[in-house]
Amino acid sequence: MLEKLIEILKPLNYPIRLQGSMNKADDYPESFFTFWNNDSYDDMLYDNTEHSTVWDFDLNFYSTDPVLTNTVLLKAKDLLKKEGFIVDGKGYDIASDEPTHTGRGINVLYVQNDNKEDI
């Protein structure tokens, strides 16, 4: 599922990193995405068998341009929704470790049926 999330975001042409994976010696890109898999839990349990998995991600966008933190994240939301992801709302402010960057985030869900091969 992680690969699917990344593939959908690639056409926006910004680096995509695991949240917290950049070390202090790394220079921050001017604009970039981060993601974090909050949970992946079984859903639709019956007959003591799971029939789908719900993938729960936080997707964040950081930029030196405060306008991009809103506009790019909303473009990502549109792309994700077209691919079956569930994205509610227009995002929320998130803290940045760098004073030059601002950030916005959205919560992203995907329901994977057990007959799909995305993992």
pTM for the predicted model, two decimal places: 0.86
Alpha-carbon distance of 9 to 39, in angstroms, equals 20
Residue 48: pLDDT above 70? no
Token output for 19 = 């949240």
Q: pLDDT tens digits, residue range 61-114?
A: 999 999 999 999 999 999 999 999 999 999 999 998 889 999 999 999 998 886
pLDDT class of 115 with cuts at 50, 70, 90: low
Alpha-carbon distance of 86 to 83, in angstroms, equals 9
